[in-house]
Amino acid sequence: MFRQKDTIPTRVGFGEGLKTLGKKYNNIIALGADITKSVNLNTFAEQFPQRFFSFGISEQNIVGVAAGLALGGKIPFFSTYGVFAAIRTTDQIRISVCYNNLPVKIGGAHAGISVGADGATHQALEDIAIMRVLPNMTILSPCDATQTKLATIASVEQVKGPVYIRFGREAVPDFTPNNLNFIVGKGQELIQGNDVTIISTGHLTWEAIIAAEKLKHQKINARVINIHTIKPIDKNIIIKAAKETNAIVTAEEHQIIGGLGSAVAEITSKNFPVPIEFIGMNDKFGESGTPNQLLTKYKMKSKNIITAVKQVLKRKNTFAKK
């Protein structure tokens, strides 16, 4: 069983990663949108006040400024709630950033249903889908605080163009080794298994691990793959899992339509079709509540992954007989 080191919000990892980059590169600039501390830009702002600028609630303007800074040789980071960072600013990101393939790094904070009491207007459940269709955009969706720090550093050191980094507000189990060799575009096989594959991203990776451990007691060996890079996605690890387990469950704190599940289905349908079940938001808006209440209500917990595994195994057996 994976051991959690602590329980830490993934936004803390973003702040730590940005601070590390700031120490290493003088051309790193941070741009805030009125919620500096909430998205952990404050750690950078306190250490590098000359390289931090707060614009207030003007997200579209910030993207334009970030594009200008990038054209001038800087590497700007812009962060706010994912619903504003990815959705309110889509036009500016598409034309000013992606069309020019500029090194603007976007922190999509407070993503998913687990942002909790802020409710539907502030729960980013469509951001992966929107960012995924933009040419030149890289999407990172790390599973815990340590991996978020590594992903933030990799967004500069491994990717020349624009990057969208997705992370959350609430504290979640932190289990990634500090010395992990984080490679953009490479998935992680966390648990071996040949009966079924659970492919997860973000916060639901821990739920996938719990589900796999419980399934072992029921004589079901589930492979768990963490996809921390949604785009470019690791096709090889997914095709290999499809061929070796012949059944997949995807798990994401995002709309099922257009997210990780859709990406996995696109790959398997073209290369090696297998039955797939999807865990995620099923074409609904969220509501206010505690993170656990919402994850439970919208069926994104380990018990729901286990149910989906059993459903896909039934389909696997039927599929095999045809």
Segments making up each domain of the chain, as ranges = 6-174, 188-321
What is the pairing mode between strands 105-109 and 163-166? parallel
Which residue type, as a one-letter code, is found at position 12?
Answer: V
Does the pLDDT of residue 74 top 60, yes or no? Answer: yes
As beta bridge partners, residue 52 has 30
Most confident of 116-120, 254-258, 318-322: 254-258
CATH superfamily of 6-174: Thiamin diphosphate (ThDP)-binding fold, Pyr/PP domains (3.40.50.970)
Which pLDDT value is given to residue 53? 95
The stretch 32-57 carries a mean pLDDT of: 92
Does the pLDDT of residue 321 top 80, yes or no? Answer: no
Dihedral sign, Cα of residue 113, residue 116, residue 119, residue 124 = negative
Nearest to 128 by CA among 166, 158, 171, 155: 166
> Could you tell me the pLDDT band of residue 27, with boundaries at 50, 70 and 90?
very high
> Could you tell me the pLDDT band of residue 318, with boundaries at 50, 70 and 90?
confident
Dump pLDDT digits (tens) for 172-194.
999 999 999 999 999 999 999 99
Which pLDDT value is given to residue 231? 98
* β-sheet with 188-191: strand ranges across: 188-191, 222-226, 196-200, 248-255, 276-281
Q: Is the pTM of this model over 0.85?
A: yes
As beta bridge partners, residue 81 has 109
Does the pLDDT of residue 139 top 90, yes or no? Answer: yes
Give the C-alpha separation, 58 to 178, whole Å. Answer: 36
Q: Which two tokens stand for residue 44?
A: 């950078």
As beta bridge partners, residue 305 has none
Which pLDDT value is given to residue 317? 81
Which pLDDT value is given to residue 304? 98
> Which member of 59, 126, 207, 277 is catalytic?
59
Does the pLDDT of residue 14 top 60, yes or no? Answer: yes
Which pLDDT value is given to residue 2? 64
Which pLDDT value is given to residue 135? 98
Nearest to 19 by CA among 148, 186, 111, 116: 148
Which DSSP helix (H) or strand (E) runs through 42? helix 42-47
Q: Classify residue 91 as exposed, middle or buried by CB count within 10 Å of its CB (0-12, 13-18, 19+).
A: exposed
Query: Percentage of the chain with pLDDT > 70?
Result: 98
Report whether 161 contacts 102 (CB < 8 A): yes
Report whether 130 contacts 124 (CB < 8 A): no
Least confident residue range of 77-81, 116-120, 183-187, 235-239? 116-120
Does the pLDDT of residue 278 top 90, yes or no? Answer: yes
User: Candidates 3.10.105.10, 3.90.1150.10, 3.40.50.920, 3.40.50.300; correct CATH number of 188-321?
Assistant: 3.40.50.920
Distance of CA 233 to the CA centre of its chain: 12
Does the pLDDT of residue 206 top 70, yes or no? Answer: yes
Q: Classify residue 158 as exposed, middle or buried by CB count within 10 Å of its CB (0-12, 13-18, 19+).
A: middle
Secondary structure class of 272 (helix, strand, coil): coil
Q: Which two tokens stand for residue 95?
A: 């034309």
Which pLDDT value is given to residue 322? 58
Secondary structure class of 209 (helix, strand, coil): helix
Report whether 112 contacts 125 (CB < 8 A): yes
> Could you tell me the pLDDT band of residue 1, with boundaries at 50, 70 and 90?
low
6-174 and 188-321 share one fold: yes
Active site residue 277: no
Which pLDDT value is given to residue 184? 98
